[in-house]
Amino acid sequence: MLKFTEDHEWLKIEGDVATVGITEHAAEQLGDLVFVELPEVGAKLEKGGEASTVESVKAASDVYCPLAGEITEVNQAIADDPSLVNSDPTGAGWFFKLKLDDANSANELMDEAAYKSMIG
């Protein structure tokens, strides 16, 4: 199941684990990424809390935790090569995996059609 937030994060939900990244739209708006700071594995984050920071040639921006949960894995590849986020934001450019406190809370997020409508 793929879900989206108003802050331009995507989530691929499998059971009670969500793989999280930023959308293609967000990657395009940011421009070429030059730095990605990832959260710590084991960190417990609240919905809407700062999870990660990205810096591009244009600006620095926060990536927010879309739902409450615990970070179980981070994608070290994007810290080593931030351009992966630009080239494959919804694939190899994922940021972290989150064990959800409540998997049903994902129902509050947008589906792909609603997200596409939001960004116009």
> Domain with 39 in it: what CATH number?
2.40.50.100
Which residue segment(s) compose the domain that 67 sits in? 2-104
CA distances from 11 to 34, 40, 57, 58, 104 (A): 23, 18, 25, 25, 13
Find out whether 47 and 67 touch, Cβ atoms under 8 Å. Answer: yes
Count Cβ atoms below 10 Å from residue 47 Cβ, excluding itself: 16
Residue 111 domain-assigned (yes or no): no
Q: Is residue 62 part of a domain?
A: yes
Does residue 112 belong to any structural domain of this protein? no
pTM: 0.96
Write out pLDDT tens, residues 61-106: 999 999 999 999 999 999 999 999 999 999 999 999 999 999 999 9
Report if residue 18 sits inside a domain: yes
Instruction: Report the pLDDT value the prediction gives residue 43, as an integer from 0 to 100.
Output: 98
